[in-house]
Structure 1
Amino acid sequence: MADNVKSLWGKLEEIICFITFVVMLVLGFSNVVVRSLTNYSLASTQEIVINGMVILTLFGAAIAIKRGQLLAVGFLIDNVSVSVRKGMQVILSLAVVFTLSVMFYFMLDLLSNQYQSGITSSAMQVKVWYYTALLPLGFAIMIVRQIEWLISQLKSK
């Protein structure tokens, strides 16, 4: 059981990205088919696709952090000595975690405001907070992945 949970945790971002991408693909394809066969459009699906792109971007960034593939961080630390690299990894990780923590706070605030106000989307008339609900989770995962990355880098020789 513990191995399944650990495996799920290790692939969480990929699973969320996969599900989001499949939903976007099905909606986009359905819209094309409906437009081709009728004179109508499923224009309201654009709302879901746009929010899906935000989710893909956020969780894709979490995947990049997990794999140590953040371009700006790699550019700064790849061309220095090992002793300087360790210090830079700590400083950069602290800066990344601080920035992500601020974003996490503001996403929670946004989610709270949207929930309390009950605002609905213009196209589909669903609660806007439904779309925002995954965003704080994305930032929380990025914070955890950055800390995991830093620990793995400090343990390596």
Structure 2
Amino acid sequence: MSLHSESGPPPGDAGGAPPPADEPTRIPLKIEDWLTVAIMAALALITFANVLVRYFTNSSFAWTEEFSVFLMILLTLVAGSAAVARDRHIRIEYFAENGSLARRKRLARFGAAMVALLFALIAVLSARMVWDDWRFEETSPGIGVPQWWYSIWLPIVSLGIALRAVGLCIRRGRTSS
């Protein structure tokens, strides 16, 4: 029995059943979904453009690798936010799904609280890193743009993940079945 109602396909079934519906949240989960789509589209476009340029000119855009790495990191963080909000983050099912309902509820809240604490800490520490990047005028190694253009997103998205985890903790506190 699961604390949250997931009704995916039975083991061995290759699909056919629709994915479980998302729980209602105050901030729509479509934000992460659309950011994921936009980031993936940008990655595909710059990679395709670089392939075309390399094929026709035997050279490549210098900025594509640096920007692609940044977008992949941002994509990972945005997807992490969606996973936390949907309660699909990594856990050890043996501990998370066994025991009484009260125990599962406590573990779910504890897990969400720890995720919130971790990402709040990452947000604070990475904000200090952004400040240093700006203050010391650090530039990116590939194309020489200010490093804070890339690093500013870590505290912002980390704070978003922390807030999503707080929301999950509150929702798990209300779960009655």
Q: Normalised by the shorter chain, which TM-score bucket?
A: 0.7 to 0.9
Q: Does 1:20 align with 2:44?
A: no
Deviations 1:105-137 (A, max 9, x none): 111011111111111112211111001121111
**Which residue matches 1:150?**
169
Correspondences of 1:116-131 after superposition (within 5 Å): 116-131=135-150
Deviations 1:83-107 (A, max 9, x none): 1112212222222221111111111
Residue 127 of structure 2 aligns with an amino acid whose one-letter code is L
Aligned-pair distance for 1:18? 2.1
Residue 53 of structure 1 aligns with an amino acid whose one-letter code is M
Q: Does 1:59 align with 2:78?
A: yes
Correspondences of 1:46-125 after superposition (within 5 Å): 46-72=65-91, 76-125=95-144
Instruction: Report sequence identity in percent.
Output: 22
TM-score after normalising by structure 2: 0.78
Aligned pair count reads: 152
Decide whether aligned partners of structure 1 residues 87 and 117 sit closer, same or farther in structure 2, where only a CA change above 3 A counts. same
RMSD of the TM alignment (CA)? 1.9
Which consecutive unaligned segments of at least 5 residues does structure 2 have? 1-24
Contact 1:93 1:150 in 2 (8 A): yes
**Which residue matches 1:137?**
156
- Counterpart Cα distance in 1 of 2:160 and 2:133: 22
Residue 38 of structure 2 aligns with an amino acid whose one-letter code is I
